[in-house]
């Protein structure tokens, strides 16, 4: 192999094209340097949250594009994008386990330098809410153009396989949001207890109650409706 192939050809800072393309100089400079950290675990804390923002950015982008596809009645590409997005949320949720490797006392030392920083201010968190609203509306439009009610889609799923898979992927997306928020709550409760007030004055117990909210509630409500319909059919006399 020619030595020339080891020389970077892309513009920008960095000793190699890998570093230039991924902008690793900038990326790795986003965490506090050793001399500015109040505690060793600030690097852990920042790494988890910065990585979360990257995965949430990707998830939000994919769901937003999935909504655009559905608005054009393109279901198949939307399914692939939604699968990616749900996997992003799994990664965001899994890496929260790292925060349990900080003791509650050590977390307090980091908490004092967070200012009024709160998960409610996460750009990724806010974008997830926005794109979920858009994709839910796009899904309703697809159903309306197909002349279907949601409960009818579930009862006739084999006839409308793509639409059924879409409904289930959106349910999984909403479920992953719930699991992620619940996991975040347990991390906070484990570090601070449930009788504490958060950095913006919100009691930890209130955060726990907010978790029960669904982003696309009709996908969950239809389950109860299906129980009612099934029981009614069972109770009906034979024709």
Q: Which of these, 90, 114, 120, 92, lies nearest to 41 by C-alpha position?
A: 114
**Tens digits of per-residue pLDDT, 134-165?**
999 999 999 999 999 999 999 998 999 999 99
Sequence-distant (≥ 6) Cβ neighbours of residue 187 within 8 angstroms: 96, 99, 100
Angle at CA of residue 210, ends 204 and 215, nearest 5°: 150
Average pLDDT, the chain: 91
What's the pLDDT at 212? 74
Q: Which residue has the tokens 């900080």?
A: 102
198 or 213, higher pLDDT: 213
What's the pLDDT at 200? 55
Residue 108 has pLDDT above 90, yes or no: no
**Tens digits of per-residue pLDDT, 52-102?**
999 999 999 999 999 999 999 999 999 999 999 999 999 999 999 999 999
Using a pLDDT cut of 90, give the percent of the chain over it: 72
The model's pTM is: 0.89
Domain positions in the chain: 1-30, 41-235
What's the pLDDT at 206? 66
Topology classification of domain 41-235: Methane Monooxygenase Hydroxylase; Chain G, domain 1 (1.20.58)
Residue 222 has pLDDT above 80, yes or no: yes
Burial class (CB in 10 A: 0-12, 13-18, 19+), 121: exposed
């Amino acid at each position: 192999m020619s030595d020339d192939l080891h020389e970077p050809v892309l513009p920008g800072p960095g000793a190699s094209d890998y570093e230039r393309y991924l902008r690793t100089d900038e990326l790795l400079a986003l965490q506090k340097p050793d001399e500015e950290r109040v505690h060793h675990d600030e690097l852990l804390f920042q790494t988890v949250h910065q990585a979360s923002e990257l995965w949430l950015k990707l998830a939000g982008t994919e769901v937003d594009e999935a909504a655009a596809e559905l608005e054009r009645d393109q279901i198949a590409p939307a399914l692939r994008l939604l699968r990616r997005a749900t996997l992003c949320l799994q990664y965001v949720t899994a890496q929260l386990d790292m925060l349990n490797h900080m003791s509650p006392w050590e977390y307090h030392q980091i908490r004092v330098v967070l200012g009024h920083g709160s998960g409610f201010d996460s750009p990724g968190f806010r974008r997830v809410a926005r794109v979920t609203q858009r994709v839910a509306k796009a899904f309703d439009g697809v159903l309306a153009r197909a002349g279907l009610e949601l409960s009818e889609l579930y009862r006739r799923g084999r006839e409308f396989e793509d639409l059924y898979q879409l409904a289930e992927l959106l349910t999984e997306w909403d479920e992953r949001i719930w699991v992620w928020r619940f996991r975040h709550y347990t991390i906070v409760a484990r570090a601070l207890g449930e009788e504490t007030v958060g950095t913006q004055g919100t009691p930890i117990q209130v955060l726990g109650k907010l978790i029960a909210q669904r982003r696309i509630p009709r996908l969950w409500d239809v389950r109860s409706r299906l129980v009612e319909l099934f029981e009614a059919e069972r109770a009906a006399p034979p024709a």
